[in-house]
Structure 1
């Protein structure tokens, strides 16, 4: 008898149809190098991705080291440029040491899984980035999820534990709406109850704190014991890569235990060079974050939104299909804005996510705000 085999992946067609019916199908936007569209969808908050010094440093790094780092950093993938950047980054953040990963996602996964495992407790809030959530899942620790910024709930979770170690994880600036977490209070809760606090500063470095050093520095907690900072070079620094910063002992532990560091090819030299140069630009012009926040205020006022605490202006549409249509309206008028739908945001809260840049002229901000307002009105969100 002949056995007829069906394609074991045929279920993907049904899945795709269901995703499309819910208005949640995604197609990557392909940008052209010659595009004249104004980009308010990226996380290039300070506009440094195209800064001449940053581009020149990337080109110089390729000339010196080649296109790739060629291996895991534990083999021959660590260059002198990696170490120089890590040292400068640690000094900037006020920590003993820093360790660079090839992405922010891998930095968070590596840090969480290296700091907590079976027999440990992780307390995470509902605003945590997907990389922190995945790190929690991979750790095999017991995970308690609390409401975003609920310090009392975190205290209760920590006080009621019987695990040997505990780790609290949070974003300092929540990536979807740009609101700031109560980092000082969270550190107080963790410190009082013998837990480590891991703060993802991805959307805060270059945006908040003295000279753009982040919310941890803004709270006066730089270098505090039991505090771990993670972040990226792919947002305000305009390049690529992630990092973990803290004590020298933490750096050594991650090198030995963080699988996303051990088994991953090191960050490429061009990205290292670009990120380090961008950090130099930020050091030389510590007013850049203030310029950015002034631009955010101007845009928010022009579009009729409340002034956010970071560079993110979140405009709720509600229906995912309407949100896509509003983003398309903007795109047709040479304006790129973010469109966030479930599972990135809760059901019923699909939105336009507009990220303001420090290098935009005030007149440009007013004109793009008018386009965004028209888009929201066109889909009935105003």
Structure 2
């Protein structure tokens, strides 16, 4: 056996033994928020499609229209022949809506985050990240030439202390998420922005889970907090109901990334039909305030129908973590809910810290009030069985 095979076999065996083995489930979408799994129809409470746009007929029609107009693929990277008029229009639309000079499009949030950090950071720079930032940000920081430090989650005082130990002459980049995807909590962006302003640090906010959900007309976490970061990353696989991402920034930073961001330079551009559909999603997000209002109402319905002892974290977002502790318990809890016709994913280490496994409940604007009540009843039953 090759040494690689030995290593792989050992690692897989360890994952099984630790109860952390991951599997890919093949699902079929049903009507509204149902999914088909092994011939069973289940209500889906694990989707990031917060505003319910992914299956909206208007958005589907926009993508079909884009395919008819622009074909299936872009055919090349943006700097060769892959950049088309729908890309240009979407970039301008995003920049105008979110209040930045420029926007650059990427095929995923992971690539956008890594492109940003790899391009900006050099030897001698300092990167300061919230400990619970997304894996794409943490990995990019570890692999970048900058010195990375991680501050305690949502602790602006800890951030300030870290920065105070760095020479004033060293470039400093602070990165946080607007909404943290596993806990559903908001970053204290006002406090963090104040620290950055006082210390001459650049601030970047990854608002993958806030844009579309929070702020005036869905502008996101920064608008909700009343601040404007130097750089904003938004992704299209959540509230936009599609796929991809954008980095919002100044003209100079955008031009710098066009020259030096390898993920942008060497990746095939997203299909122009997709950019066309994203423009429609952008319009719908701004126009359809009822979607955000419904999310808030559904969150209240869930809260009032859960037993007081059920440990669901109260958040201002559609992400409602049900804390269960051990990985084994999380898997069992998810299976019991599945037997009751509900799909709620168990989240285990290393995605979350040890002994903080949880069921990550997510609400969408296409859920019905009766479905939320059924979810609460099922959680209450399973919780009290243990």
* TM-score of the superposed pair, with normalisation by structure 2: 0.92
- Cα distance in 2 between the residues matched to 1:33 and 1:286: 26
After superposition, where does 1:43-122 map in structure 2 within 5 Å?
43-122=48-127
* Equivalent residue, structure 2, for 1:297: 300
- Cα distance in 2 between the residues matched to 1:375 and 1:272: 43
Matched, 1:318 2:325: yes
Q: Deviations over 1:230-282 (max 9, x none)?
A: 11011001000011112122221121121111111111234323322111111
* TM-score of the superposed pair, with normalisation by structure 1: 0.93
- Cα distance in 1 between the residues matched to 2:81 and 2:380: 52
CA contact 1:238–1:278 (8 Å) conserved in 2: yes
CA contact 1:211–1:287 (8 Å) conserved in 2: no
CA contact 2:92–2:103 (8 Å) conserved in 1: yes
**Pairing partner for 2:189 from 169, 183, 187:** 183
* Equivalent residue, structure 2, for 1:229: 232
Matched, 1:269 2:265: no
Long gaps (5+) in structure 1: none
Superposition CA RMSD, Å: 1.6
- Cα distance in 1 between the residues matched to 2:107 and 2:21: 28
- Cα distance in 1 between the residues matched to 2:63 and 2:217: 23
* Equivalent residue, structure 2, for 1:147: 152
- Cα distance in 1 between the residues matched to 2:172 and 2:149: 11
CA contact 1:300–1:313 (8 Å) conserved in 2: no
Matched, 1:357 2:360: no
Secondary structure at 2:208 match in 1: coil
Long gaps (5+) in structure 2: 31-35
Secondary structure at 1:48 match in 2: coil
- Cα distance in 1 between the residues matched to 2:254 and 2:300: 38
Please report how far the alpha carbon of residue 306 of structure 1 lies from its aligned counterpart in structure 2 after TM superposition: 4.5
4+ aligned runs moved over 4 Å, structure 1: none
How many residues align structurally? 372
Matched, 1:136 2:141: yes
- Cα distance in 2 between the residues matched to 1:50 and 1:164: 48
7 and 160 in structure 1: CA distance in 2 versus 1, 3 angstrom threshold: closer
* Equivalent residue, structure 2, for 1:12: 8
* Equivalent residue, structure 2, for 1:218: 224
Please report how far the alpha carbon of residue 285 of structure 1 lies from its aligned counterpart in structure 2 after TM superposition: 1.6
After superposition, where does 1:246-257 map in structure 2 within 5 Å?
246-257=249-260
After superposition, where does 1:324-363 map in structure 2 within 5 Å?
324-363=331-370
CA contact 2:211–2:219 (8 Å) conserved in 1: yes
Matched, 1:161 2:166: yes
* Equivalent residue, structure 1, for 2:33: none
* Equivalent residue, structure 2, for 1:283: 286
Please report how far the alpha carbon of residue 87 of structure 1 lies from its aligned counterpart in structure 2 after TM superposition: 0.9
Please report how far the alpha carbon of residue 189 of structure 1 lies from its aligned counterpart in structure 2 after TM superposition: 0.5
- Cα distance in 2 between the residues matched to 1:281 and 1:151: 35
* Equivalent residue, structure 1, for 2:383: 376
